[in-house]
């Protein structure tokens, strides 16, 4: 079967397959739901023309984003502070004019827009999952439950006017029709308006072999080159880029209408780094595939070694990313007896695909395992500080990606 890039329509070929995979956030409420569980083949590819890293088989949007979506961003103290600081920075940089207007897509439970709302700034969140949209409204964040496209943008302009600032954090890799979003942004932004996009960065994923970034909802992993190519088709361009370490490595892109903003020195340096990493070269992804296989084998060897010693192994953090690790590696309830998670919507469910019980943190504290696979590895510092009592009693972390090791 021939696949085509969703950005530029060039023919693309997957460089590997992670096999049959469930929707990452589709936690089962009971074992009775297993017979109807949805699966797809998770196979990534790099477009030879526009250099966009993407998965070739995309489930329907309503399979992924719906009225019982299980991710609430504000459950992380670190991310709450991260977006508070980002809001302060963006207000200082871009919202100095009269009566500014901020729009955010994928606004989740209002983790970012609540900072603008508290300042009394005009704002609007566009969030397709009804349950998290309602959580945002409960915080006083004006939220439209919808998918963003040109029609949505036109409706927003008609009611509120054009936007000074458009935010999409951890969102653009979730949206299949990037062209529709880019066209909507081009229509919505003022002539000197700015779009801020922040997502897991392809350079970090490749360098660290962090393959757990790849799952249905992460249908793209962006680079500067790919984003410039995608948004350039609609008269927009990246003029600044800033890297941070959240989610295992993110890039914050600043985009605007072509020619409206001066390109920063940081952007030139980041682009040069992409060339050094070989992000547009097929050989890079052949090496990545081999690294994924080695990572899988190493993780299973560590888990099996603990189990062979009669030790109990649990999971920590029922993250969306864990679905790729668990199902690619073949982890079952025989390997990991439960996954501890603090999100109420996930507690009492079964993990997608493998059906490992997801439990409240009280189970972890009351029946402490000898080791825990830290699926939320990108929050290591925050979690490790929280679990010092368990660590002092001999508890060990098993790191599932990057450097697969016991800590």
172 and 300, same structural domain? no
Q: Please determine, for residue 67, whether its predicted confidence score (pLDDT) is greater than 60.
A: no
Contact 222, 201 (CB under 8 A): yes
Which residue in 333, 329, 248 sits closest to 294, CA to CA?
329
376 and 362, same structural domain? yes
Q: Report the pLDDT value the prediction gives residue 308, as an integer from 0 to 100.
A: 98
Give the pair of three-digit tokens for residue 288.
């990545």
Q: Report the pLDDT value the prediction gives residue 131, as an integer from 0 to 100.
A: 86
Residue 173: which pLDDT band, with cuts at 50, 70 and 90? very high
Tens digits of per-residue pLDDT, 86-117?
Answer: 999 999 999 999 999 999 999 988 999 999 99
Q: Report the pLDDT value the prediction gives residue 5, as an integer from 0 to 100.
A: 98
In a domain, 67, yes or no: no
In a domain, 139, yes or no: yes
**Interacting residues of 75 by C-beta distance below 8 A, sequence separation 6+:** 342, 343
231 and 96, same structural domain? yes
Tens digits of per-residue pLDDT, 24-43?
Answer: 989 999 999 999 999 999 99
Average pLDDT over residues 240-250: 91
Rounded to an integer, what distance in angstroms lies between the CA atom of residue 244 and that of residue 257?
A: 24
Average pLDDT over residues 166-174: 94
Average pLDDT over residues 201-222: 96
120-134, 151-165, 182-196, 386-400: the lowest-pLDDT one: 120-134
CATH number at residue 203: 3.40.50.150
Residue 174: which pLDDT band, with cuts at 50, 70 and 90? confident
289 and 266, same structural domain? no
Which residue in 328, 358, 360 sits closest to 30, CA to CA?
358
Q: In what order do the strands lie in the sheet with 349-350?
A: 349-350, 357-359, 339-340, 313-316, 371-374, 396-399, 405-406
In a domain, 34, yes or no: no
State the average pLDDT for the chain. Answer: 94
Give the pair of three-digit tokens for residue 80.
């709450």
321 and 172, same structural domain? no
Average pLDDT over residues 142-152: 95
Using the 3D structure, point to which of 257, 279, 301 is the last residue of a domain. 279
Using the 3D structure, point to which of 264, 279, 294 is the last residue of a domain. 279
Using the 3D structure, point to which of 245, 279, 313 is the last residue of a domain. 279
Give the number of domains in the chain.
2
- Domain residues for the domain of 169 are 73-279
Q: Report the pLDDT value the prediction gives residue 246, as an integer from 0 to 100.
A: 83
Q: Please determine, for residue 70, whether its predicted confidence score (pLDDT) is greater than 60.
A: no
In a domain, 336, yes or no: yes
- In which element (H, E) is residue 44 found? strand 44-46
341 and 205, same structural domain? no
Residue 73: which pLDDT band, with cuts at 50, 70 and 90? low
202 and 127, same structural domain? yes
- Residue-wise burial string across 230-244, b where 16 or more C-beta atoms lie within 10 A, e elsewhere: bbebbebbbbbbbee
Torsion 287-227-63-9 (CA) sign:
negative
How far from chain centre, in Å, is Cα 313? 26
**Interacting residues of 59 by C-beta distance below 8 A, sequence separation 6+:** 23, 38, 40, 216
174 and 108, same structural domain? yes
229 and 160, same structural domain? yes
pTM of the model: 0.91
Rounded to an integer, what distance in angstroms lies between the CA atom of residue 201 and that of residue 199?
A: 6
Q: Report the pLDDT value the prediction gives residue 132, as an integer from 0 to 100.
A: 86
261 and 317, same structural domain? no
In a domain, 25, yes or no: no
308 and 258, same structural domain? no
In a domain, 7, yes or no: no
248 and 310, same structural domain? no
Decide the pairing of beta strands 3-4 and 11-12: antiparallel
Q: Report the pLDDT value the prediction gives residue 285, as an integer from 0 to 100.
A: 98
């Amino acid at each position: 079967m021939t696949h085509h890039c969703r950005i530029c329509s060039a023919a693309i070929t997957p460089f590997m397959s992670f096999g049959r995979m469930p929707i990452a956030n589709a936690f089962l409420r009971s074992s009775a739901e297993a017979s109807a569980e949805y699966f797809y083949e998770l196979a990534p590819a790099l477009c030879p023309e526009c250099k966009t890293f993407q998965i070739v088989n995309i489930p329907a949007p309503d399979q992924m984003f719906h009225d019982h979506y299980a991710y609430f961003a504000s459950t992380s103290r670190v991310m709450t502070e991260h977006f508070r600081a980002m809001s302060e920075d963006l207000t200082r940089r871009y919202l100095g004019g009269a009566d500014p207007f901020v729009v955010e897509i994928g606004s989740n439970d209002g983790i970012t827009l609540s900072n603008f709302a508290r300042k009394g700034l005009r704002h609007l969140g566009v969030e397709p999952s009804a349950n998290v949209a309602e959580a945002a409204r409960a915080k006083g964040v004006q939220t439209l439950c919808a998918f963003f496209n040109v029609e949505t943008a036109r409706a927003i302009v008609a009611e509120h006017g054009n936007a000074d600032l458009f935010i999409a954090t951890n969102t653009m890799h979730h949206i299949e029709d990037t062209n529709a979003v880019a066209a909507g942004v081009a229509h919505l932004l003022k002539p000197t308006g700015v779009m801020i996009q922040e997502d897991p960065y392809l350079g970090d994923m490749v360098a660290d072999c962090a393959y757990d970034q790849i799952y249905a909802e992460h249908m793209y992993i962006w680079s500067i080159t790919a984003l410039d190519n995608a948004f350039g088709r609609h008269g927009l361009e990246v003029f600044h880029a800033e890297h941070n370490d959240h989610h295992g490595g993110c890039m914050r892109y600043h985009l605007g209408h072509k020619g409206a903003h001066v390109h920063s020195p940081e952007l030139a340096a980041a682009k040069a780094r992409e060339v050094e990493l070989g992000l547009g070269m097929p050989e890079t992804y052949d090496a990545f595939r081999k690294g994924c296989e080695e990572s899988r084998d190493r993780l299973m060897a560590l888990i099996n070694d603990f189990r062979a010693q009669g030790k109990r192994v649990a999971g920590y953090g029922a993250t969306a990313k864990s679905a790729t690790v668990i199902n690619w590696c073949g982890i079952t309830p025989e390997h990991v007896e439960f996954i501890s998670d603090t999100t109420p919507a996930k507690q009492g469910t079964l993990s997608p695909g493998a059906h490992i019980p997801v439990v409240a943190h009280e189970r972890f504290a009351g029946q402490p395992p000898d080791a825990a696979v830290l699926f939320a590895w990108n929050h290591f510092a925050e979690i490790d500080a929280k679990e010092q009592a368990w660590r002092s009693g001999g508890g060990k972390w098993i790191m599932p990606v990057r450097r697969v090791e016991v800590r």
